[in-house]
Amino acid sequence: MGTLGVRQMKRDSFVSVSGGGESTKLVTRTHVATSIDPVILPAGQPDEHLTWF
């Protein structure tokens, strides 16, 4: 779970930097929630999700 959080954080930073606007921040927040949702559901396959990302 620790690695997953770090990966998500990195991805969020990238998206924020790419846009560089408040709108992008909102999108990033939604991305995190969407990412956490599917990851929590398949607790038995967290590695696959990470690789897909």
Task: For residue range 7-51, list pLDDT tens digits in order.
Answer: 555 555 444 444 455 555 555 555 555 555 555 555 555 555 454
Check: CB of residue 12 under 8 Å from CB of residue 32.
yes
Q: Is the pLDDT of residue 53 over 50?
A: no
**Residue 4 included in any domain:** no
For 29, the domain range is 22-53
pLDDT recorded at residue 4: 47
Residue 11 resides in a domain: no
The predicted pLDDT at position 48 comes to 52
Torsion of CA 43, 5, 11, 40, to 10 degrees: 20
Q: How many domains does the chain have?
A: 1
pLDDT for res 43: 53
Local confidence band at 52 (pLDDT 50, 70, 90 cut-offs): very low
**For residue 42, which phi and psi values (nearest 5 degrees)?**
-90, 75
Q: What pTM was estimated for this model as a whole?
A: 0.16
Other beta carbons less than 10 A from residue 30's beta carbon? 10
CA atoms within 13 A on the CB side of 19: 13
